Amino acid sequence: MTTIHLITGGERSGKSAYAEAEALRLSPQPVYIATARIWDEEFAERVRRHQERRGPEWTNIEEEKALSRHELSGRTVLIDCVTLWATNFFFDLEQDIDRALEEMKAELERLFAQEAHFILVTNEIGLGGVPMDAVQRRFTDLQGWINQYIAARADRVTLMVCGIPVPVKGAPL
C-alpha cells in the first residue's frame, strides 16, 4: 500500500530533520532522494551539512527529476525537496509553468504507482508576500500548485512551525 506524507513549512522550520526522524521511525533503512542541483559554493555547504546528519542506515540517491526511475517498492522514501525538484523542471522547461506542472504531475503519478511509504519535504514559499519580479511570481505559482496537488493525494500533511510539527491532514502511521 502506498502512503504519502507531505511535510511543508518555511526555511529553517525543521522540515528536513522532522522528515528524517519520521523515515527512521518507519524503517531502519530508509531511502533518501536528494533532488538538488548544486548552484554555488554556499549551497554545496548546505548539502554537505544535510549529508553529515544522515548515517549509514540511509540509501542515498541523487535524482534531479526522474524520481520514478528508481525501484522503491516496499521502502520508506524521503524526497527532499519538492521545491528544488520543481526548480529543475522550471528552468529546464524555460519557465513554462503549465508544461512543468504537467510533467511533474505525471512523474509523481509514476512514482506513487510504486507501493512505498513516501515522505516529501516542500516549502511554503507563498507565505512571504508577492515576489518582486515575474520569474519569482511564476515559480511561486508553480510551487503552490504542485504543493496543492501533492497535499490532495497525501494521507498526511504536516506544517512545520519553529521546529514544531503541526498536523494539517491525516493521522500518524
Catalytic center residues:
50
150 three-state secondary structure: helix
79 three-state secondary structure: strand
List C-alpha distances in Å: 60 to 18, 33, 68, 146, 168.
17, 6, 15, 24, 28
Q: Are 127 and 13 in contact (CB under 8 A)?
A: no
* Beta strands 3-9 and 117-121, pairing class: parallel
**Which grid coordinates are listed for 83?**
521545491
- E strand segments, the chain: 3-9, 31-34, 59-62, 76-80, 117-121, 156-161, 164-169
Distance CA 114, CA 146 (A): 19
